[in-house]
Amino acid sequence: MTQTQTMMDTPKAAPSGKLDRYFSLTARGTNARTEVLAGMTTFLTMAYIVLVNPAILGSAGMPVASVAAATCFAAAFASILMGFVANVPLALAPGMGLNAYFSFTVVQQMGVPWPVALGCVFLSGIAFLVLTLTGVRQLIVSAIPQYLFAAVAGGIGLFIGFIGLKGAGIVVANPATFVALGDLKSPGAALALFGLVVIGALSVWNVRGAMLVGIVATTLVGWLAGMVTVSPEPYSLAALTGTAFQLDLGGVFGLSGKQGLGLLEILFVFLFVDLFDNIGTLVAVTKRAGLMDAQGRIPRLNRILITDAAATIVGSMAGTSTVTSYVESAAGVQAGGRTGLTAIVTGLLFLATMFVAPYAQVIPLAATAPALIIVGGLMLLPLTEVEWEDPLSAIPAFLTVAMIPLTFSIANGLAFGITAHAILKIVRGTIRKSDGFLLVLALLFVARFVWMGAA
């Protein structure tokens, strides 16, 4: 009784209790401090998008300063909404790959004006929402066999580890062997190796916030060594008006079909890639955070998917390409993030970055790369759940794990895994009526591969 009274008399008890109840902090084995550190860690590993996305979309003729503001706003809105509505440590931002498709293929190659392309993104978001509300996206998740969830998590681990190695300059392109070891004496690679040692050492010492401390320490060393240069361009929040509500829906419906397969092709790619990238990322992050139940189901899945759809719709209205879940969220999970509070902190930091967007480059890629490398390695643990002695599991799992990093696409990895699983079940004669949706998915994937090959 005395202890209860003491807790009630403590000024900080009420706010802490509200946070705990809303986000289930205690139930998920975490606390507010850990969630804040996790959110900061996720933000630092994602901050590169504030610079990269404007550069990519700027090549399509979009105003760079406006895209920078739109990128920050979209990431902030989506991450905060995910935290409050779905209560998962999943951060979102304009997706890499889809922004390149938007700029280089849709606008530059197909000749679609960027306002019309934004209209296509908006309609794809509406399509995501319809598929979610009708239960189709949930059916897709339930049709994926459990061992492929583990394979996706492992494949994404290799994927983000490869992104980290590439961003650090430790792995570089090679015309003869595709990839090769980079110059480890170069400033970027040397700085990344330093960060790798720092984060690794702090991790084995079980230091809380090891990722965040390592990123900050590596950034400081980069500054002191003169490896970080900042040359910000003139910028203000008013820049957002250059892309906000500039989408041209009338132009979308007026497409004549001269641009390849026209509207259908654009919508299909935006829809397909975002759909399966999100599912793959969602499975990997929630699995790593221990949020899946014993049957492999994801709690609040409907809320997560609706939030994702809303994020793409709002992002297109702000003036950026498709908003999607980020695999870098795994860095925050590794730092201890288990609830939506992690995503909210990440979103608030993106919101603050709107005021200083050009200064995001003070955090070099070499400082965030070590975190991605270590997280990538730690995400391989679920691969132990695959029955590697059974070819029905081993072959699709391997294809999933291999194709995600080798094709730089989570969607491609899922496509190969699901298709192989369906084919092998048919060959073995174990296909059942309950596998009907699985077969539909496999046929869609085959059609997609044929379509891509004929393009």
DSSP string of 206-274?
A: T-TTHHHHHHHHHHHHHHHTT-----PPP--GGGGGGTTT---HHHHHT--S-STTHHHHHHHHHHHHH
Higher pLDDT, 128 or 358: 128
Q: Are 109 and 366 in contact (CB under 8 A)?
A: no
Count of positions (residues) in the chain = 455
Judge whether 289 lies within some domain.
yes
**Cα angle vertex 34, ends 28, 40, to 5°?**
125
E strand residue ranges, 320-424: 323-325
* pLDDT interval class at 194 (50, 70, 90): very high
Torsions phi, psi for 172 (to 5 deg):
-130, 165
How far is residue 98's CA from residue 162's CA, in Å, rounded to a whole number? Answer: 19
Q: What is the mean pLDDT of residues 340-369?
A: 86
Judge whether 341 lies within some domain.
yes
Judge whether 3 lies within some domain.
no
Q: What is the mean pLDDT of residues 178-200?
A: 94
Judge whether 245 lies within some domain.
no
- Tally the domains of the chain: 1
Q: Are 430 and 235 in contact (CB under 8 A)?
A: no
Judge whether 244 lies within some domain.
no
pLDDT at 3 over 70: no
Q: What sign does the CA torsion over 26, 375, 87, 215 have?
A: positive
Both tokens assigned to 181 = 């070891």
pLDDT confidence of residue 36? 95
Domain that holds residue 47: 20-229+257-453
Q: What is the mean pLDDT of residues 37-43?
A: 94
Q: What sign does the CA torsion over 145, 146, 151, 156 have?
A: positive
Nearest of 56, 58, 359, 363 to residue 232 by alpha carbon = 359
Judge whether 424 lies within some domain.
yes
The dihedral over CA atoms of 14, 18, 20, 21, expressed in degrees to the nearest 10, equals 130
Residue type for position 186:
S
pLDDT at 195 over 90: yes
How far is residue 349's CA from residue 235's CA, in Å, rounded to a whole number? Answer: 18
> Per residue in 170-185, pLDDT tens?
999 999 999 999 999 9
Both tokens assigned to 53 = 């996305």
Higher pLDDT, 54 or 4: 54
pLDDT confidence of residue 276? 72
Rg (CA), the chain: 22
* pLDDT interval class at 95 (50, 70, 90): confident
pLDDT confidence of residue 282? 80
Considering the chain, what percentage of its residues have pLDDT values greater than 90? 40
pLDDT at 55 over 70: yes
Q: Are 329 and 285 in contact (CB under 8 A)?
A: yes
Nearest of 15, 62, 365, 399 to residue 189 by alpha carbon = 365
> Per residue in 401-450, pLDDT tens?
999 899 887 778 888 999 999 999 999 998 888 888 889 889 988 887 77
Judge whether 191 lies within some domain.
yes
> Per residue in 240-287, pLDDT tens?
888 989 998 887 877 544 444 456 667 776 877 777 777 777 877 877
Judge whether 444 lies within some domain.
yes
pLDDT confidence of residue 103? 85
pTM over 0.95: no
Name, in order, each residue with C-beta under 8 angstroms of 105's C-beta and a sequence gap of 6 or more: none
Both tokens assigned to 262 = 């026209």
Return the half-sphere exposure (C-beta side, CA atoms, 13 A cut-off) of residue 220. 7
